[in-house]
Amino acid sequence: MAKSLRYFSINVMFLLLMLIYSPKWVAAGPLLITTEGYASGQLSRVNRDKNVTRAYVGEISLGHESMTFISIGNQPPSLVTNPWQFCFEKDRYEEIENLIGNDVILEFKTPKNNSLLSCSSVNELVEIYPVIQNQPLEQKHFIGNIHTMDSEIAHGVEFGRITNLINNRGTNRSYFMTIQVGTGGSKFRHFVIDDHDLYDFAVTVLKNAAIVKVHYSDRLTSFANFYGLGSRSVVSEIEIVD
């Protein structure tokens, strides 16, 4: 009996330590094993992280003429904030510094490589390149599917620019999208996408920095602790505005 209690105590202590020292977005809900995605905005800062020999941190201001915000609802906590931070290796510093002040597209992933574990940001840079606006697109409207069986409580349309896309490649693959509402400013809205082809179209739109209409359906969800709210907005179609 004493031996069983001792094992039980050890297990409890181990779980408590995991909750204390794990990143907040891990403790908040289902484990995000691997994510990859895109962010769009103005590259505003690069600097060397404290007490790190090789890691550097960059920041972009999401969208156009945006203000600071902290993400709540629909998004995995800590993965979407403004300014949006990312880590990169020392040998890419000159490449990235040359893009300061430009509107850029940034491809990222989590978790970071071992060499960047001390970096303060959770995101690691994969690629970065300038936005080329007004590129001719073959398709300007994509109607996707909503696969969730959650009950609909409302639906609507939001107008703005896509600033973030996240592909959670865990056991249950899921997609997240953030838009800057309107043509600029500090209002952002978060969405869920559950159609892979619609997500791919959203990536094309983000890379073009196009203004869009996002058609969505608000659904009740049982994952209130993960999404931050008792409902989530699921995208049904995306339409580029000329």
Note down the domain range covering 65. Answer: 35-130
Residues 111 and 173 both lie in one domain: no
Lowest mean pLDDT segment, chosen from 6-15, 46-55, 58-67, 140-149: 6-15
Average pLDDT of the chain to the nearest whole number? 79
CA dist 22 and 24 (Å) reads 6
Q: Taken in order 137, 196, 235, 181, is the CA torsion positive or negative?
A: negative
pLDDT digits (tens, 9 = 90+) for 98-145: 999 999 999 999 888 888 887 878 899 999 999 987 778 889 999 999
Residues 95 and 80 both lie in one domain: yes
Tell how many helices (H) and how many strands (E) occur in the chain: 5, 13
pLDDT of 58 > 60? The answer is yes
Helix (H, G, I), strand (E, B) or coil at 146: coil
* pTM for this model (two decimals): 0.79
Question: How many domains would you assign to the chain?
Answer: 3
Q: What is the pLDDT of residue 55?
A: 76
Q: Return the structure tokens found at 135.
A: 């590129």
Q: Is residue 42 part of a domain?
A: yes
Q: What is the pLDDT of residue 38?
A: 97
Residues 126 and 162 both lie in one domain: no
pLDDT digits (tens, 9 = 90+) for 214-236: 999 999 876 544 444 577 899 99
